[in-house]
Amino acid sequence: EIVLTQSPATLSLSPGERATLSCRASQSVSRYLAWYQQKPGQAPRLLIFDASNRATGIPARFSGSGSGTDFTLTISSLEPEDFAIYYCQQRSNWPWTFGQGTKVEIK
């Protein structure tokens, strides 16, 4: 099973700041990595798929990069609605797995 390790566990930032979230895979997942955002009491929302493709309706301030084992989600300038938990997920190898999440909180 591919283990996805996200860091940091919590990121404390202010609105307007840049957020950089990391996801590291225990073995290569090529570019088959997605990012999801989840707010309290809500279902997850797809942000990025296949490492760098923004899903429909996702603002341009969200971008993804990486390949192989190291991936990054960048939020260029945090909006108030961006404070949430972010999960990465791989679809390279069964079983499909999620990272443990990074919480982006208001500083």
Site residues (CB under 8 A) for other proteins?
34, 36, 38, 42-46, 49-50, 55-56, 87, 89, 91, 94-101
| Minimum distance of other proteins from residue 15's CB (angstroms) | 26
The amino acid present at 97, given as its one-letter code, is: T
The minimum distance between CB 66 and other proteins, in angstroms, equals 16
Closer of 14 and 42 to other proteins (Cβ): 42
- Phi–psi pair at 95, nearest 5 degrees: -80, 140
Phi, psi of 59 (to 5 degrees): -65, 155
Between 36 and 71, name the residue whose CB sits nearer to other proteins.
36
Which one-letter amino acid corresponds to residue 16?
A: G
Closer residue to other proteins in complex, CB, 50/81: 50
State the nearest-atom distance from the C-beta of 48 to other proteins, in Å.
10
**Residue 61 or 91 with smaller CB distance to other proteins:** 91
How far, in Å, are 56, 80, 87 from residue 34 at the CA level?
13, 23, 8
Cβ 97 vs Cβ 4: under 8 Å: yes
